[in-house]
Structure 1
């Protein structure tokens, strides 16, 4: 496609069904550009989680085409998939922390899986825990942390490898409004560093908290873009260099 070089993600006429059921996503087409902040919204059952699974490569579409980082991921060899997934950070609604590991070890997990040595791991993990305000809790296990603290550990783990795209599924759904705003500010800070951020939420109050954000709305598996998110050009300052 002509805009593939300047985009980071493209969906073209994507459909998704589970088994023989009707499609949960139909004719989904959009383009995500580097360094933008996107909200994906819609009622419960609209298909937000299914669309995020396609974005972080946990699910293949039933039809249509998906390009990421200039590559057709539908035909991508299986052996190339791990490298692609490392370029995408994911924050799950239910945190998915490893309960017997400390906050430090949960955040360090992606780096250890990638083969980094313990000497290389300590400083970046300590730095990102400080960034999310948990430097004093790095030895704590998840069951001793509050919901907001667990979510911040999950965010730290998602961004420790400096992903090009961050996908967050209802990241504020289990915290109070004050903590929700703090989490949103962390996503904004990451976005300012150049990461493309996609936050799925049903909380319409959050949509006004990020002035430069773009909104994609799902309704019964179909996508609309009230702020022009599907066709918005890249920010000039992000594209330099």
Structure 2
């Protein structure tokens, strides 16, 4: 894997909903393959909209987006599902399948990828244990707390070791100890080669991955007009 290859490229990207003002304007930046990035900025800055562009839930109003070296703006819609399988996403609202157990929600990406049923139990059980839900494998989402649902959503996003992991406030519903554990999980996945993008308001979280870079949005634009990525501030030693 080349350390300099870009997995994501934005060139003069703008996003407008309906006829209103642009939500995102003139975004030009690149994310290198294998990098770890924190996306920050105040509420309303456009972080969730940017993430939607990254996982192809939204197409830009203008500009060029390349993902895995391919132009996804003009890509035929019938190719998008295959592309999305290369991306793991942790949504703020979890988006778990209500009628499926925690085990089956986590197993879903593996089943979609064609993994044999006999090969599912070990990786899914290990992932449940990692996020502290080994005793809740058969529980359905409605019986899980918000923090437990968040952990299932994260386990589902990382189980297939995606090439790109996108997480929108992934530690917002868990206690500090579990937040550390989850960030450690993202860190371990990143060290295996996955590019990680985490949107967060938690300034303390930014100190946990010293090698991570920071992309800051302010009112729909990059706070640094050159598009350069910054390293997060160092926190106090613990």
TM-score category (smaller protein): 0.7 to 0.9
Q: Distance in 2 between matches of 1:107 and 1:209?
A: 26
The aligned counterpart of 1:189 is 188
**Where do 1:206-225 residues align within 5 Å?**
206-225=205-224
- Structure 2: gaps spanning 5 or more residues: 232-238
Verify: 1:200 aligned to 2:199, yes or no: yes
Q: Distance in 2 between matches of 1:116 and 1:183?
A: 25
The aligned counterpart of 2:82 is 83
Moved more, 45-54 or 130-139: 130-139
Verify: 1:14 aligned to 2:27, yes or no: no
Q: Distance in 2 between matches of 1:87 and 1:121?
A: 19
RMSD: 2.2
3-state SS, counterpart of residue 120 of structure 2: helix
Q: Deviations over 1:133-186 (max 9, x none)?
A: 322321122233333322111111111222100000011222233332222222
Verify: 1:117 aligned to 2:116, yes or no: yes
- Structure 1: gaps spanning 5 or more residues: 233-241
The aligned counterpart of 2:164 is 165
**CA 140–153 in structure 1, closer or farther in 2 if over 3 Å, else same:** same
The aligned counterpart of 1:134 is 133
Choose between structure 1 and 2 for higher RCO, CA contacts under 8 A separated by at least 6 residues: 1
Verify: 1:104 aligned to 2:107, yes or no: no
**CA 84–76 in structure 1, closer or farther in 2 if over 3 Å, else same:** same
**CA 133–122 in structure 1, closer or farther in 2 if over 3 Å, else same:** same
The aligned counterpart of 2:173 is 174
Q: Deviations over 1:31-70 (max 9, x none)?
A: 1112111000011100000000000000000000000111
1:224, distance to aligned residue in structure 2 (A): 3.0
**CA 225–148 in structure 1, closer or farther in 2 if over 3 Å, else same:** farther
Matched-pair contact (CA < 8 Å) for 2:12–2:27: yes
The aligned counterpart of 1:147 is 146
Q: Deviations over 1:63-112 (max 9, x none)?
A: 00000111111121222111110011000112111222111011112223
1:22, distance to aligned residue in structure 2 (A): 0.4
Q: Distance in 1 between matches of 2:138 and 2:228?
A: 41
Matched-pair contact (CA < 8 Å) for 1:30–1:231: no
Q: Distance in 2 between matches of 1:101 and 1:21?
A: 39
